[in-house]
Amino acid sequence: MRYSYYIVDVFSASPFGGNQLAVLPDASGLSTEGMQKIAREFNFAETTFVLPKNDPQSTCRVRIFTPKAEVDFAGHPTIGTACALVMKDHVESGDPARLVLEENVGPVTVAVSVQDGVFHGELTLAGKIDMPPGAPPPADLAVVLSLQAADVSQVFFAGVGLPFCFVQLTSKEAVDRAAIDRGAWKKKLSGAWSPNVFFFAGDLKNGGELYARMSAPALGIEEDPATGSACAALVGALALKPEFDADAYRLSIRQGVAMGRRSDIEAVARKEDGVVTTVGVSGATAFVAGGQLELPRGFS
């Protein structure tokens, strides 16, 4: 039994940067258990499985797996899957091509365009930002990140389909110096609303630039080169603050640098009458490889 796959690098204009993604463009017949085994075999941050659509208005159904678990939504797999399907002519394409992917979080719209020979994807979500109270104190996150309390400016929870604990640090140097203390993480964060830690430094003004890293031990991701879902949640959460009264709030996020996989992510939140209506992230996708999985008879 053979299943085709593609490997793309997301949030990078050229191969060997950004965040790796494996895409199975036709995963019909695979069980949830089988998908999890394949995701574990690729061992990328995520692997996606494209299935027939349920809604006639959609393009296809997409399921997303980390090496340990299925997730309801993630940014780089959504953009990378849409770009891969357009690159390899699995969908009719315009310029831009508009795809609606059915994910566990609901329908996600992705516009795919080609700019100077480079494929770019921009995903858009309804602006419902989950922001529960009760985030851990900054001192606790300093311990989790092996930093000093003075290195941490603020901590808050937010999510759009996938929850994160956001930690603003005082400097880029502190971001590079941070290291997850697994014992402290287990004690102080593993049972929290979100155990996934996105830590960053930079200018939070409209149009500002951030330098970031992300770790999600519970999902089997020691460090993620690019985390689109976190960037969407971050820009949406910050846009909710009353001091941001413009119609659009934008951030540029650079991630994955210390890993040797630089990722460049653009994030935007749009507002009407002080309410966030949509959030989105965008970036380039580069094709790396394609092939076939040879699965044993009876595998599903």
pLDDT at 126: 85
Backbone angles phi, psi at 6, to 5 degrees: -125, 150
Provide CATH code, domain 2-107+285-294: 3.10.310.10
**Annotated domain spans of the chain:** 2-107+285-294, 138-284
- Active-site choice (46, 103, 122, 223): 46
Nearest CA to 27 out of 76, 68, 70, 56 is that of 70
pLDDT (tens place) for every residue of the chain, 300 residues total? 899 999 999 999 999 999 999 999 999 999 999 999 999 999 999 999 999 999 999 999 999 999 999 999 999 999 999 999 999 999 877 778 999 999 998 999 999 999 899 999 999 988 789 999 999 999 999 999 999 999 999 999 999 989 999 999 999 999 999 999 999 999 999 999 999 999 999 999 999 999 999 999 998 899 999 999 999 999 999 999 888 888 999 999 999 999 999 999 999 999 998 889 999 999 999 999 999 999 988 787
Nearest CA to 227 out of 2, 21, 24 is that of 21
Q: How many CB atoms lie within 10 A of CB 100?
A: 15
Do the domains at 2-107+285-294 and 138-284 have one common CATH topology? yes
Q: How many CB atoms lie within 10 A of CB 292?
A: 9
Contact 236, 86 (CB under 8 A): no
Phi-psi region of 187 (alpha: psi -120 to 50; beta: other; left: phi over 0): alpha
Is-catalytic flag, 243? no
Q: How far is residue 48's CA from residue 39's CA, in Å, rounded to a whole number?
A: 8
In terms of CATH architecture, what is 138-284? Roll (3.10)
* Tokens 């049972």, residue located: 191
What is the 8-class DSSP label of residue 257? T
Q: For the chain, how big is the Rg over CA atoms in Å? A: 19
Helix/strand/coil (H/E/C) assignment for every residue in 94-124: CCCEEEEEEECCEEEEEEEEEECCEEEEEEE
